[in-house]
Amino acid sequence: MRAAVLETPGEVPVVRDHPDPVVTPGHTSVRVTAAPLVPLDLLCASGTSYFGRPATPYVPGVQGVGTVEDSATLPAGTRVFFSTTAGMAPGDGGLAERCVVPDVDVVPVAAGVADPALAALGLSAVAAWMTLTWRGRLQEGEHVLVLGAGGAVGQAAVGAARVLGAGRVVAVCRSEESQERARRLGADVVVPLAGDVDHLTARIQDAAGGKVDVVVDPVFGLAATAASRVLGPGGRLVNLGGASGDVAEFSSAVLRGRSAEILGYTNNALSPGQRREALTTVAEHAAQGLISVAHEDIPLADAAAAWRRQAAGSAGVRLVLTP
């Protein structure tokens, strides 16, 4: 089969022939139709992540969409979403024509969302959904602040917050294009990520209408510091990424004075059942046009160029590889 193969950690994968994966008991073989390039793919492939240096060569791709070819649990032809541990543990991922995945990591998806759109949502949308519902414990009417609203997690979080009945949704992101998209996705107010922390805090405070109950934070750094300062009583800031840096400053007086919480989130802590339920729910809302992630479809043959764009941070949308 054709696959994007990483030969050396830290380098760019090469599209070439690669042995077809072998189906073993407890596994499902999927013909891949769409697989997104996500930050986790590049982090794992860097060889410097907390997962350690991956054994090479391997096919990156921690998730994808496709149809079942061979499975003991699902009929052939079933449309599925799948996740893999490529780069985190030995084994190949989804940037290929075929992928063999443990049965528990395969989710049938009947909702009317096209394969690339579903791939773009994928685990980014699962993270957004579970950050709001599970870690953030969002209640109807509460105010939500989404940092990094231009990214896939942030876009999904804006839509999800609306679906979940947030009373107010404030989005923070950098480019004009992202800000405009956040408004279209349902943000009540959009705040540009600009200026120093005091300036940003004041802008968010203004936009939030007095309080923020739940912060979705894939960014950390200065934006998280500003967000923590506007948390209301019992507010929850859920960090799920460090796109702008690994350190942020929080005030003890603010946290204890408001009984506020700073929480961490990782998809890796979800049970297969939680992941399945979140993905299914998100897909149903996506089918109604309520949650989406902007994406660009790229032939698998051009995986190296797509990888470079993602690494440079210049993609602007989720890049989805289509074998």
Q: Which amino acid is at 85?
A: T
Beta strands at 212-217 and 261-264: parallel, antiparallel or unpaired: unpaired
Q: Are 320 and 64 in contact (CB under 8 A)?
A: no
Nearer to ligand NAP among residue 177 and residue 198 (C-beta)? 177
Nearer to ligand NAP among residue 100 and residue 156 (C-beta)? 156
Rule CB under 6 A: choose which of 118, 265, 295, 320 binds ligand NAP: 265
Binding to ligand NAP (CB under 6 A): which residues in 281-320?
313, 318
Nearer to ligand NAP among residue 88 and residue 243 (C-beta)? 243
Question: Could you tell me the two tokens for 80?
Answer: 């599925």
What are the residues facing 298 on neighbouring strands?
321
| Length, in residues, of the chain | 323
What's the burial of 249, exposed, middle or buried (CB within 10 Å: 0-12/13-18/19+)?
A: exposed
Binding-site string for ligand NAP from residue 72 to residue 111, where x marks contact by CB under 6 A and - marks none: ----------------------------------------
Binding to ligand NAP (CB under 6 A): which residues in 266-285?
266-267
Min CB(23)–ligand NAP separation in Å: 28
Min CB(20)–ligand NAP separation in Å: 29
The phi and psi torsions of 111 (rounded to 5 degrees) equal -55, 145
Nearer to ligand NAP among residue 125 and residue 164 (C-beta)? 125
Q: What are the angstrom distances between the C-alpha of 147 and each of 38, 42, 91, 246, 284?
A: 18, 21, 33, 15, 24
Min CB(257)–ligand NAP separation in Å: 27
Rule CB under 6 A: choose which of 67, 85, 133, 244 binds ligand NAP: 244
Exposure pattern of 108-136 as b/e (b: 16+ CB <10 Å)? ebebebebbbbbbbbbbbbbbbbbbeebb
CA distance 184 to 136: 24
Q: Are 34 and 119 in contact (CB under 8 A)?
A: yes
**Count of positions on this chain that bind ligand NAP (CB under 6 A):** 29
Nearer to ligand NAP among residue 65 and residue 127 (C-beta)? 127
Min CB(218)–ligand NAP separation in Å: 3
Rule CB under 6 A: choose which of 34, 95, 109, 127 binds ligand NAP: 127
Matching residue, tokens 């079933």: 78
Binding to ligand NAP (CB under 6 A): which residues in 149-208?
149-154, 173-174, 178, 193
Q: Are 163 and 292 in contact (CB under 8 A)?
A: no
Binding-site string for ligand NAP from residue 15 to residue 44, where x marks contact by CB under 6 A and - marks none: -----------------------xxx----
What's the burial of 16, exposed, middle or buried (CB within 10 Å: 0-12/13-18/19+)?
A: exposed
Min CB(19)–ligand NAP separation in Å: 30
Of 62-70, 75-83, 236-244, 298-306, the window that binds ligand NAP (rule: CB under 6 A) is: 236-244
Matching residue, tokens 């349902």: 186
Residue 80, helix vs strand vs coil: strand
Min CB(42)–ligand NAP separation in Å: 9
Min CB(25)–ligand NAP separation in Å: 29
Specify the DSSP class assigned to residue 88.
T
Instruction: Name the residues that contact ligand NAP, by CB under 6 A.
Output: 38-40, 123-124, 127, 148-154, 173-174, 178, 193, 218-219, 240-244, 265-267, 313, 318
